[in-house]
């Protein structure tokens, strides 16, 4: 049996990180089994349809490298198929019209049960607790519960990996499978991701999309690595791993049954780890891709900045703040009187400096620090307007004599 799974996003908004984690688990499981992953856009909720959402869904998957079959399925293009299957149920007296909508008649005796692949646990619902449910709405569009089952069968889906919030809907789905005489897929309900307040992660609760994290300077490899650990344990204390390593060892039995907590600090730590593992050339390429105006920076200057930056930034977005001195044309910060005196005397010393290198530059700063009983943060404020940043002597060496002196002269004026 060839494994076939699906990613079934609803374009009612931009998917947040929890939805994308589910897509990642589907991808890893499918790749590990040598199967096929389908992207199915479940766009039957026309009242909440957001036109730009599908584009964002595709953009997220492509950025993260979650590959799926070339043909994208859209439920809005399959309405006739759902109507035909609804007629089958009507003919079997298993569906009836109610106020313009078509409802499925749930059995009221016995129970509906299945063994869930997450935790290998048996789940049972008494049928008397289940109400009849709409399968075709009054606008002619199918409901999620109905279209989902019809499509999963016709698309030969073997494994349904989704969030555990869908457990309560599964009895309805199983009854539809039985009504049509179809074989059940394997159901695997993933633990939902919680926020720091231990409530389900949601957009109302501050959850972001993968595109938000991309725009904030997170690397896709770091985001993938962090997402996979939200509910999956690869064994031991292993945390940093590539997507190929994930595929090689991914197994449904290693998915936890308890809900993970989304920790933004842990994600940021992991992102910094990935940045530090990049070669200087790789990091340079990432920064050029992230910032539209970095190509204007002199290549030799850029190359010298990279090693200084690599160990200090947690995200790509922090690069500009740390290196602002290389981009400024005017000074927009003020100094107090004592700082201004130090700026003037430092300017005099710098103009007399013959060998422009970090050691000589630091020697000048050290003299002033000892003489005036000040700390290095005074020099940081003088040159950058902030109290910390990249190693200052190295920064000024790269910046060069002319621009360094221009900064101080501009500041003093």
Q: Which tokens belong to 122?
A: 């048996």
Encoded tokens for 95: 């569906």
Does residue 411 carry a pLDDT above 70?
yes
Which own/partner contact pairs does 327-330 have at CB distance under 8 Å and 24+ positions apart?
Answer: 327/297, 328/407, 330/410
Interatomic CA distance for residues 201 and 284, integer angstroms: 34
Per the CB < 8 A criterion, the answer to whether 107 and 119 are in contact is: no
Task: Tell me the pLDDT band of 55, cut-offs 50, 70 and 90.
Answer: very high
Phi, then psi, of 396 in degrees rounded to 5: -70, -30
Contacts of 321 (CB under 8 A, 6+ apart): none
Write out the two tokens for 395: 């920064």
CA end-to-end span of the chain? 78
What the block records as the tokens of 337 is 């009187």
**CATH hierarchy code of domain 323-412:** 1.10.10.350
What is the reported pLDDT for 204?
A: 67
What mean pLDDT, rounded, does the chain reach? 94
Distance CA 292, CA 287 (A): 9
Would you give the distance in Å from CA 208 to the centre of its chain?
Answer: 8
Secondary structure element (H or E) that encloses residue 38, with its range:
strand 36-41
pLDDT of amino acid 359: 97
Q: Is pLDDT at 291 greater than 90 in this prediction?
A: yes
Three-state secondary structure of 68-129: CCCCCEEHHHCHHHHHHHHHHHHHCCCEEEECCEEEECCCCCCEEEEEECCCCEEEEEEHHH
- Report which of residues 203 and 74 the model is more confident about: 74
Pairwise CA distance, residues 269 & 222, whole Å: 9
275: nearest Cα among 239, 311, 324, 223: 311
Q: Is the pTM of this model over 0.95?
A: no
- Average pLDDT, stretch 144-150? 97
- Model confidence at 194: pLDDT above 70: yes
Report residue 205's pLDDT band, with 50, 70 and 90 as the boundaries: low
Res. 297: pLDDT tops 80: no
Name 37's bridge partners: 5
pLDDT at residue 298 in the model: 77
Name the residue ranges covered by the structural domains of the chain: 323-412
* Block residue for tokens 């919030």: 165
Q: What is the 8-class DSSP label of residue 204?
A: G
Distance CA 94, CA 104 (A): 6
Confidence of residue 400 (pLDDT cuts 50, 70, 90): very high
Residue 229 has what pLDDT? 97
């Amino acid at each position: 049996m060839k494994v076939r799974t699906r990613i079934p996003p609803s374009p009612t908004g931009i998917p947040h990180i929890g939805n994308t984690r589910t897509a990642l688990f589907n991808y890893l499981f499918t790749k590990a089994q040598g199967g096929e992953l389908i992207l199915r856009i479940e766009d039957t909720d026309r009242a909440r349809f957001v036109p730009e959402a599908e584009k964002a869904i595709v953009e997220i998957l492509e950025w993260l490298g979650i590959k799926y079959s070339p043909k994208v399925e859209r439920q809005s293009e399959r309405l006739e198929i759902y109507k035909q299957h609804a007629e089958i149920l009507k003919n079997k007296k298993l569906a009836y019209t109610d106020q313009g909508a078509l409802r499925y008649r749930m059995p009221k005796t016995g129970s509906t049960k299945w063994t869930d692949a997450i935790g290998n646990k048996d789940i049972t619902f008494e049928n008397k607790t289940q109400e009849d449910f709409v399968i075709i709405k009054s606008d002619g569009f199918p409901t999620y519960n109905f279209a989902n089952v019809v499509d999963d069968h016709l698309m030969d889906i073997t494994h349904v990996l989704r969030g555990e919030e869908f457990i309560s809907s599964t009895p309805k789905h199983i009854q539809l499978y039985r009504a049509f005489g179809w074989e059940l897929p394997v159901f695997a309900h993933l633990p939902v991701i919680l926020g720091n307040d231990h409530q389900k992660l949601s957009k109302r609760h501050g959850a972001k999309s993968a595109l938000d994290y991309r725009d904030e300077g997170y690397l896709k490899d770091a985001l993938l690595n962090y997402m996979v650990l939200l509910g999956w344990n690869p064994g031991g204390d292993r945390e940093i791993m590539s997507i190929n390593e994930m595929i090689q060892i991914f197994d449904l039995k290693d998915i936890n049954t308890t809900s993970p907590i989304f920790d933004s600090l842990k994600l940021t730590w992991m992102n910094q780890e990935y940045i530090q593992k990049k070669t200087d050339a790789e990091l340079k390429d990432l920064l050029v891709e992230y910032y539209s105006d970095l190509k204007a920076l002199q290549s030799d200057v850029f190359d010298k900045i990279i090693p200084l930056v690599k160990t200090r930034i947690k995200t790509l977005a922090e690069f500009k703040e740390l290196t602002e001195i290389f981009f400024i044309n005017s000074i927009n910060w003020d100094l107090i009187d004592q700082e201004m005196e130090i700026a003037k005397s430092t300017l005099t010393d710098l103009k007399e400096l013959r060998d422009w290198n970090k050691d000589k530059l630091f020697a000048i700063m050290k003299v002033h620090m000892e003489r005036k009983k000040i700390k290095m943060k005074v020099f940081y404020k003088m040159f950058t307007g902030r109290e910390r940043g990249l190693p200052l002597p190295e920064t000024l060496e790269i910046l060069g004599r002319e621009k360094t002196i221009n900064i101080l002269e501009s500041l003093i004026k």
